[in-house]
Structure 1
Amino acid sequence: MKSSSRKELFNYVESLLGEYCNGCFVHQQFKHEGGRRYAHRFCITQCTVGEKLQEYGKKLT
């Protein structure tokens, strides 16, 4: 994989995190109700943004 495409992927991941994940109400609510681990598990397994981030993570490795 070329470094320019890696940079593009990193930039896209950063923009996703900044736009959708920072200050996410659902994450904050689940963190309050079930704890940090519960909220993180939700983000990884059920959130559409989390699934998209995983796809880009796989492309980076």
Structure 2
Amino acid sequence: MIRRELLDHVEVLMNMYCEECFLHKHLKKEGGRRVAHRFCITQCTIGEKLQEYGKKLN
């Protein structure tokens, strides 16, 4: 994939799943922004997919 396509895929994923994520909002409210972000990076399947795209960009 070329860089532009990867960035488009990332944008679509974030708009579709991350923008209105109830779990992220709940974790942010209960544990803070850091807890919510850590969940997204380590446990969320969308977060894992975004990391794969990020590795391909480098």
Task: Give TM class, smaller chain.
Answer: over 0.9
Amino acid at match of 1:55: E
Q: Which runs of 5+ in 1 are unaligned?
A: none
Q: Which runs of 5+ in 2 are unaligned?
A: none
Q: Which runs of 4+ in 1 moved over 3 A?
A: none
Return the alpha-carbon distance in structure 2 between the equivalents of residues 16 and 49 of structure 1.
7
Structure number with greater Rg is 1
User: Cα RMSD between the aligned structures?
Assistant: 1.0
Paired residues, number:
58
Structure 2 counterpart SS, 1:23: coil
Return the alpha-carbon distance in structure 1 between the equivalents of residues 26 and 9 of structure 2.
26
Give the TM-score taking structure 2 as reference length: 0.97
